[in-house]
Structure 1
């Protein structure tokens, strides 16, 4: 047997064996955690010499499994050759992207190695997991020089079981983060947001008992406000357990016994409960406990459904007064770093009288969703199946499905989430219809209590805007992007366009807008001025409210955000300026146009008893 074949066999065993990721723990922040956030040493590695040898074979798949930067080797004698040194390397803040923390890394795409040291005291009878909220995009993770595994996807959490791999005292974790854009990945090479690389969300070392509550769903049954349904999933050494679900403020105590696979369905009636809504963001303490483990979550209960052209929240028609936003702070460069940043963004949406936000174009953090629960904002959650994906590549589909599944698993107990979105502006073709149809079916198989949607494209024939994407048959909303007045037509001629919509479903406009440089004022015909954007919003509202089935919108976008695609040296300077709030935090004139419309819609729905 030749050496190359042996290498391939070893690589297969390596990929399929002990390096698999563990299923996500539900409610990671409710566990006993050691935070590994802080300053991590980093090494820039554009040629990936810390991962490959000079024959371009991975060090971690060699016979010894050593030789890469993940070994964090120290010089044992003065003659030993080591061409890297984490201790002498600079540091980056984690969570945080590298692009915003070093000027020389602003446009960097490639691999960077990050290392953190920490002390541990592993105990007998406990299980330990190393958890990452997000690493963009491909992460290879090592603990004490040994590979734990690899993860793809820049916005979803992942974890590894490190029980028996920790040592008492000092440990070190090394991450190779690579944000290189590739055609067959999710998202693909072409996007309209900054490709922030690095460990962008929390890193936690989590301790649980040897028999632990791994997952659960506690939500109202599909379209039934009088019944709670879901499940409890145990993991560890003893799968068959007695589990108690206790909701003290609702007077509910239920006990179930998990089967030999650790699973038990839950189903019980509710009599007195205050339903979650933007006007009443009521959250209940839900305690789930066994003899060895106990978790307390804050969960709201509400129903969401469509009937004809109506969206019904808790059985009553609702208009989605929304706005889109990116996971980015316009005031401090980079990804949102914590609850302060996130609360600021959501509070701006509340100031516009929003009851709904579209978290585009990828999963935002769990903390963001929990804040939406608390603050009373309905949420559209989305995966980055964006523009032109490799529709015929099975690995690409599997990646998209995994990201969608991880999003739903993580956020299925969050009352604020009312829509799972499977993509944005994906062009029509038979392979795309198959790909997207499978994603829609997957979302429904994982969660039948929420709406499934996508931001569809439209086309124009004369002055008709045609909405007849066949994917719409598999979705709950007719949701689409249209940029009348900016990418086609102008801010006054747009009023001559009419929409022809081929579905009897609620219409939610997922994007419209115009760029405006904050503080630049001119007449309303001058592009880039606040006045142009203001008139476009006035006329967009006139045009869109003529659609009988209009039941919501999320204009593009809450704040200006950075994008390498936006290169005009004066008006853009690598910023997408469609925000209603500038990069200095100033509200543009169109902000107040949209707020006035939302005030009107709120009064209309209240006066009509909707």
Structure 2
């Protein structure tokens, strides 16, 4: 089945017409097209039935015969049926049994829970029973916060849905498959890296597999709110006293003219609008009073949305973010971003980030560092990160995992990227902390890639015209003192990220002092720079792998950055050491990328203190 035959009616409202035409024209396979089914926004603000906890699991060793047939199709008569073979009699043809299988915690990756699966990449089957009592005039969805990388869902032996993409949520409609009393769900998760996947086969971070984020049941009325966007109206010029909110609410299944109420008591907003033929109710309303969100005053409002039998209350901040020449303006004032990169690696315990404690630890590091910004690389992180950033006044760069070696020449890969972009923006567009959408990191400079990413940047603007678009560029070589960044992708960006590793991958630390950069006349973020150092390893300022050398690299980087007038942010690589299977120097790396300002167990390196002091005193870079 293709996208053209599977999607009709209101589902088309989410798809870019150009992408739909592209998909139909090339007859993409179903997985490559990633049809946008229902994707519920604000699930963490709804009453849900959690399915977190112990799930039985079985490992499907390559070539994963339990999931795939010999010609690569998904098997419908295997482990998904969750049968219980009679081991004392009967045919010997079903050699599995979930009921006696061991368990894994969900959410969580399988790599750090089971030693034998630490480096396993492939298919693991998850199963659990749950009690449920269906209610009339409702629909029930299985919400999966993230599963890396492909996942296939069955409930009570019925194949419900599939999803590709390891870092964004999806929702499966279980309504017709559920029954009163005992039910079971089986999810096959395949973490195998693929040439045409996003990301592709080569990544410099650990490929954590499994049901890595929350799983729950969400029951809603037959006609329900699945999407909404409530933001400060983004006019051509910013006016601090305008106080106009605009956006939309989408009600799935709603007839034309269905009332939708928007209520923000503290802001004096109380209005009712009606849905159009697509179930979308647009609004524009002036608030009686409004305090704008900023790092200094991260004000959030209780936003109440209701329609018919459905209602949801979200915590939303309102602010204006835009670019003016080489400046980044927040609520009309120029800002300088003082931050760090961060992978979704849990401090102390290791593994993928998935708990309140993980997020609390990370933001504790950022606060101690005097940071006002974090780049969540290189994929959408757990939604808890954005929620914590909203509450704590930390600004965010969020990106999809287009990182090197992507098949930019293939239409089906562009289709995947577009759907991942849709999923990321749809989930987080109401988060005031998210100020930048990024379409890629460190991509090769060639016309095919440039066209691919330019189109994607324009798609991001179509989806959300209120935020600047960025990407982290790599190159050019810095073997000469004069460095010219002429990557044509910069023309498609509002804010340009520049990755460079002078003093580590190229040249000596002191070489940075002499560099003169010619960069686009746009806001420039030094989006990656740094050096590896093993915490506790000490030596001279030019002795590699020591804390002193890492410190030396950063000090010389600061000399260089003070001479670049359009630098509007510092984002060192990286806040904390993180696992990477390519980092295999014994004693020094031990499977970790050691460029962190902190070790994986939260111990500070000398460079952390440098950034803490620099950010407190604002001695590198200017907002204007």
Give the structure-2-normalised TM-score.
0.91
Asked whether 1:306 is paired with 2:317, we answer no
Deviation at 1:458, TM superposition (A): 2.0
Contact 2:256 2:274 in 1 (8 A): no
Which of 100, 103, 106 aligns to 2:118? It is 106
Q: CA RMSD in A?
A: 1.9
Q: Which residue of 2 aligns with 1:203?
A: 215
Q: Return the alpha-carbon distance in structure 2 between the equivalents of residues 354 and 59 of structure 1.
A: 47
Q: Do the aligned residues in 1 keep the contact of 2:497 with 2:527 (CA within 8 Å)? A: yes
- Taking the aligned partners of 1:602 and 1:210, their CA distance within structure 2 comes to 57
Query: Could you tell me whether the CA contact under 8 Å between 1:217 and 1:230 is conserved in 2?
Result: yes
1:280 and 1:246 map into 2 onto residues whose CA distance is: 22
Cα pair 1:130 1:205 within 8 Å, conserved = yes
Q: Is the 8 A contact 2:262 2:305 kept in 1?
A: yes
CA distance in 1, matches of 2:35, 2:399: 25
CA contact (8 A) 1:326 1:359 kept: yes
1:72 pairs with 2:90:
no
Task: Provide the C-alpha distance between the structure 2 equivalents of 1:590 and 1:118, rounded to a whole number of angstroms.
Answer: 49
**Residues 52 and 68 of structure 1 are in contact (CA less than 8 Å); yes or no, is this contact kept in structure 2?**
no
Q: How many Å separate the matches in 2 of 1:487 and 1:567?
A: 17
Trace 1:405-416 onto structure 2 (pairs within 5 A).
Answer: 405-416=422-433
- Please tell me whether the aligned partners of residues 530 and 589 of structure 1 are also in contact (alpha carbons under 8 angstroms): yes
What does residue 504 of structure 1 align with?
521
3-state SS of 2:470 partner? strand
Aligned to 2:68: 52
Are 2:42 and 1:27 equivalent residues in the alignment?
Answer: yes
Residue in structure 2 matched with residue 165 of structure 1 by the alignment: 177
Match of 1:149 in 2: 161
Contact 1:111-1:177 at 8 Å conserved across structures: yes
Q: Aligned pair 1:364/2:381, yes or no? A: yes
The aligned residue for residue 3 of structure 1 is: none
The 8 Å contact of residues 254 and 279 in structure 2, kept in 1 or not, is answered as no
Q: 1:183 to 1:52 in 2, by over 3 A?
A: closer
Unpaired runs of 5+ residues, structure 2, are 1-26
Determine which of 453, 472, 485 is the counterpart of 1:467: 485
The equivalent residue for 1:392 is: 409
Q: Give the Å deviation of 1:259.
A: 1.7
Are residues 1:563 and 2:580 paired?
A: yes
Instruction: Give the superposition deviation at 1:36.
Output: 0.7
Q: Which residue of 1 aligns with 2:501?
A: 483
Q: CA deviation at 1:15?
A: 5.2
Q: Is the 8 A contact 1:211 1:239 kept in 2?
A: no
Correspondence for 1:444 among 461, 469, 475: 461
* TM-score between the two structures when normalised by the length of structure 1: 0.93
Three-state SS of the structure 2 residue aligned to 1:170 is strand
1:269 aligns with 2:286: yes
Asked whether the equivalents of residues 20 and 149 of structure 1 are also in contact (C-alpha less than 8 Å), the reply is no
Aligned pairs for 1:121-520 within 5 A: 121-223=133-235, 224=238, 225=240, 226=242, 227-236=244-253, 238=255, 240-460=257-477, 462-501=480-519, 503-520=520-537
**Structure 1 counterpart of 2:97:** 85
Secondary structure at the aligned position of 2:154 is classed as: strand
CA 1:533 to 1:128, structure 2 compared with 1: closer, same or farther past 3 Å?
A: same
Write the distance in 1 (CA, Å) between the matches of 2:301 and 2:496: 33
Describe the SS at the equivalent of 2:99: coil
C-alpha change, 1:14 and 1:115, in structure 2 (3 Å) is: farther
Shift of the 255–193 alpha-carbon distance from structure 1 to 2, 3 Å rule, reads same
In the aligned structure 1, how far is the partner of 2:580 from the partner of 2:621? 38
CA distance in 2, matches of 1:386, 1:337: 23
CA distance in 1, matches of 2:316, 2:178: 34
1:13 Cα shift?
13
Number of the residue aligned with 1:43 = 58
Q: Secondary structure at the match of 1:495?
A: helix
Give how far 1:337 is off. 2.3
Cα separation, 1, equivalents of 2:186 and 2:331: 47
1:431–1:570 Cα change, 3 Å: same
Measure, in 2, the Cα distance between the counterparts of 1:594 and 1:176.
44
Residue 453 of structure 1 contacts residue 477 of structure 1 at CA under 8 Å; is this kept in 2? yes
Q: Is the Cα contact below 8 Å between 1:31 and 1:208 reproduced in 2?
A: no
Answer with 91-100 or 594-603: which moved more: 594-603
2:11 is matched with which residue?
none
Other-structure match for 1:9: none
Q: Distance in 2 between matches of 1:539 and 1:330?
A: 29
Structure 1 603/509 Cα, relative in aligned 2: closer, same or farther at 3 Å?
closer
Deviation at 1:268, TM superposition (A): 1.6
Pair 1:510–1:204, CA change in 2 (3 A): same
Q: Distance in 1 between matches of 2:164 and 2:35?
A: 12
SS at match of 1:456: strand
Tell me which moved more, 340-349 or 276-285: 340-349
Paired residue secondary structure (1:289): strand
Report the Cα offset of residue 498 of structure 1: 1.7
Distance 1:354 1:101 in 2: 32
How many residue pairs were aligned? 587
8 A contact 1:121–1:169 mirrored in 2? yes
Distance change (3 Å), C-alpha of 1:21 and 1:89 = farther
Q: CA deviation at 1:80?
A: 3.0
Cα distance in structure 2, aligned partners of 1:303 and 1:207:
34
| Counterpart contact for 1:359–1:379, Cα < 8 Å | yes
State whether residues 31 and 207 of structure 1, in contact with CA within 8 Å, keep that contact through their aligned partners in structure 2: no
Moved more, 259-268 or 518-527: 259-268
Alpha-carbon distance in structure 2 between the residues aligned to 1:534 and 1:362: 28
Alpha-carbon spacing, 1:439–1:14, altered in 2? closer, same or farther (3 Å): closer
Tell me if structure 1 keeps the 8 A contact 2:251–2:307: no
1:330, distance to aligned residue in structure 2 (A): 3.5
CA–CA distance in 2 between the matches of 1:406 and 1:337?
A: 19
SS in 1 for 2:387: helix
Give how far 1:14 is off.
11
Q: CA deviation at 1:336?
A: 1.0
